Chains A and B, each alone.
Chain A
Amino acid sequence: MNKPGRNATSAGDIAVKLSEVDKIFYQRQRSEKIQDVFKNLFRPNIREIRALQKVDLRIRRGEIVAYAGPNGAGKSTTVKLLSSVLAPTSGSVQCLGMNPMKDRVQYVKRIGVVFGQRTELWWDQPVAASFEWKRVVWEIPRARYDAMLGFVKDLLGIGEFFNSLARQLSLGQKMRADLALMLMHEPEILFLDEPTIGVDVLAKRNILDFIKNLNREKGVTVMITSHDMDELEQLAGRIVMIDKGRIAFDGDFRQLRRQFGDRRHLTIETASTSPPRISGVQFIGSKGNRHHFTFDAAQTPIPTLLAQVQTRIHDIETHRMPIDDVIADMYEHWDANREGVRE
């Protein structure tokens, strides 16, 4: 993991470089009409799906990058391009100075990949057996293997189920074992495609802490996709948002909030059950004498809002909207823009 002398580039270099990358899939469209049987067979309509369009992306060594977007946005396609599973239709994919498709064997020795709903564990074997298999296939020298095994056992706590059969593990344990297995060859960059999908809150927190520690202590570059924006915000300094195959945002989470407004919740408790009239806010609803609003703090400062309240205030609460809500607004905004363009 970024050991000196292991590669020719220094720690400040670019680890991932996608230039003008397009990925197009073709999908047969079949009509349900009986009279179209022969057409479906011999001349089906082919729909072109542009999974990635002119994607330019640079990731520096040692960065943690959250890669997010709605379903079908192109997240998994990008991870597959970077894992030497898929080739781009056009454009160039470079990672650690190599072409993932052309230099596959050498390249995959230096990366780690985890797909959330897949496992590299041998299902009917104790977890330990999968680690032995990994040592042989990745040709890890015994001393390095033993050292890494101690490290991942400590960090991920896999010792407690190391001798259990893989198929008997819980989802969280399985993911921890998969992450540990992925790290055994000391990859310089990790591609994690929804690594916390389906795991419980505690297991999720352990996995996120682990990724953060790994990045801090070993300088491992991480690219992680997830639908859970709060999780990504905890983990990553930078977020790249992709929508319909295009990069729609690239920056940090504060910039993201700013770009789409500083949306906040406001709860005011008054003596009355009817909500106070305030301009510059959106009324959500009332429960007794507690009234809920949302507003954009960048547009309307809180003192300006409170100055408008005519009744006596008993209590007031304000907090930032969860990043999930910000992103949901953003997806809605993108969809609305597309609809506008179509019309």
Chain B
Amino acid sequence: MNTLTKLIARWRVQAYLDFMWMTRDFRFFFINIVSDIILNLAGVAAVFLLAERFQGIGPWSRDQIVFLLGYAALVRGLLDMGFSYNVLHISRRIGRGQMDHLLVQPQPLWMGLLAEGFMPFSGSWSLIAGMGITAWAIHQLGMALTASWWLIFFCNLVASCAIVLAFSFAWGSLAFWAPVAAEEISSRAVNFMYQLKSFPLDGLSAFMLANMLTVLPVGFVAWYPCRQLLGIAPSHLWHTPLVAMVFSLIAWVAFKKGMQHYEQTGSQRYLGWGHRS
């Protein structure tokens, strides 16, 4: 079996687990969907209402803001769907000594991490909400969409997801050295990105903006790629994928160093929840 076939087989079994979990009882299933949709709409409501009240924010029209919100929801949706069970919040797994479970599985670590968090049913409602919001914005904007635009759109979307994931892994790797103190550091990092991702960052000082695009790359989660995709700024559509590569490299180095440390020290602590429930 080649690597892709193996990965698909693992995703399929995770999808089966997720489907079984979701459909365990209909009432639970229904409440889960409704609450996820409400949460997602609430998450974008504040910025939308501001845009509606002032007919846009800065250089962004109201419909462009809706596109930004849709894109941000898509990023969150993809991450929720692909990296649940605390894969996105990796410091929890590390800090709780749960890496041992991955190490006794006969597969490369990256494959375990890429497969174990896949929840295409219970984790897809943000994605569906994002798709709806984006489709509505595209329709309102009357954009003429070519195949190359879609290609660039998907490349940027994947890059934005990679940036959030890499940011979480880079910070989360601290838990290898400080399992208790840094157990929640990935959640803090991810929440920081999620809370700021929907805001247009135009008008910030150059210093603040530079920080938001480098040290804390929240600008790349939605604002920067959307500016390019909507033609608000000169088109540099390769910037976000490039930044994603840089952050992925940083995360990879930090995580690898952390794993080397873990192999030497192991974990003196073990808590069983979160990675399988």
Q: Which residues of A contact B (CB under 8 A)?
A: 25-26, 77, 80, 83-87, 89, 101, 104-106, 108-109, 113, 115, 117-126, 129, 132-133, 136-139, 167
CB distance from B109 to the nearest CB of A (A): 9
Given A85-B266, A87-B264, A136-B12; A125-B20 close (CB under 8 Å): yes
Chain B positions within 8 Å of A105 at CB level: 106-108
Q: Are B266 and A137 in contact (CB under 8 A)?
A: no
13 contacts between A and B (CB under 8 A): A84-B103, A85-B100, A105-B107, A117-B272, A118-B272, A121-B276, A124-B21, A124-B277, A125-B17, A133-B14, A136-B9, A136-B13, A137-B105
Chain B positions within 8 Å of A26 at CB level: 265
CA distance A139 to B10 in the complex (A): 10
CB distance from B9 to the nearest CB of A (A): 5
Given A119-B272, A124-B21; A132-B104 close (CB under 8 Å): no
CA distance A121 to B17 in the complex (A): 12
Chain B positions within 8 Å of A109 at CB level: 106
CB distance from B163 to the nearest CB of A (A): 29
By beta carbon, the residue of chain B nearest A80 is B266
Chain B positions within 8 Å of A126 at CB level: 20
CB distance from A84 to the nearest CB of B (A): 6
Instruction: Give the 4 A-B residue pairs with the shortest CB-CB distance, closest first.
Output: A123-B277, A136-B13, A109-B106, A87-B263
| CB-contact partner of B266 in A86, A118, A133, under 8 A | A86
Chain A positions within 8 Å of B101 at CB level: 118, 120
Chain A positions within 8 Å of B103 at CB level: 83-85, 104, 108
CA distance A114 to B263 in the complex (A): 19
Q: Are B263 and A136 in contact (CB under 8 A)?
A: no
Q: Are A117 and B270 in contact (CB under 8 A)?
A: yes
Q: Which bucket holds chain B's interface residue count?
A: 20 to 34
CA distance A126 to B272 in the complex (A): 18
By beta carbon, the residue of chain B nearest A167 is B277
CA distance A109 to B104 in the complex (A): 9
Given A85-B100, A85-B103, A118-B272; A101-B263 close (CB under 8 Å): yes
Q: Are A123 and B276 in contact (CB under 8 A)?
A: yes
Chain A positions within 8 Å of B270 at CB level: 117-118
* Residue among B10, B105, B263, B276 with the highest chain A CB neighbour number at 10 A: B276
By beta carbon, the residue of chain B nearest A101 is B263
Q: Are B104 and A85 in contact (CB under 8 A)?
A: yes
B16 at the interface (CB under 8 A from A): yes
Chain B positions within 8 Å of A124 at CB level: 21, 277
Chain B positions within 8 Å of A133 at CB level: 13-14, 17
Chain B positions within 8 Å of A129 at CB level: 16-17, 20
CB distance from A232 to the nearest CB of B (A): 23
Chain A positions within 8 Å of B12 at CB level: 136
CA distance A106 to B103 in the complex (A): 12
* Residue among A118, A122, A137 with the highest chain B CB neighbour number at 10 A: A137
CA distance A119 to B9 in the complex (A): 23
Given A87-B264, A101-B263, A124-B277; A137-B104 close (CB under 8 Å): no
CA distance A80 to B17 in the complex (A): 29
Convert B106-121 into 0s and 1s, putting 1 for each residue whose CB lies closer than 8 angstroms to a CB of A: 1110001000000000
CA distance A137 to B14 in the complex (A): 10
Given A86-B263, A117-B270; A138-B106 close (CB under 8 Å): yes
Chain B positions within 8 Å of A138 at CB level: 105-106
Chain A positions within 8 Å of B264 at CB level: 86-87, 89
Q: Are B106 and A125 in contact (CB under 8 A)?
A: no
By beta carbon, the residue of chain B nearest A26 is B265
| CB-contact partner of B106 in A87, A108, A123, A167, under 8 A | A108
CB distance from B43 to the nearest CB of A (A): 25
B144 at the interface (CB under 8 A from A): no
Chain B positions within 8 Å of A77 at CB level: 266
By beta carbon, the residue of chain B nearest A106 is B106
CA distance A119 to B21 in the complex (A): 19
B1 at the interface (CB under 8 A from A): yes
For the A-B complex with A80-B100, A106-B106, A118-B272 known, give 6 more contacts whose Cβ atoms are closer than 8 Å. A25-B265, A26-B265, A105-B107, A115-B100, A120-B101, A133-B17
By beta carbon, the residue of chain B nearest A128 is B20
* Residue among B101, B104, B266 with the highest chain A CB neighbour number at 10 A: B104
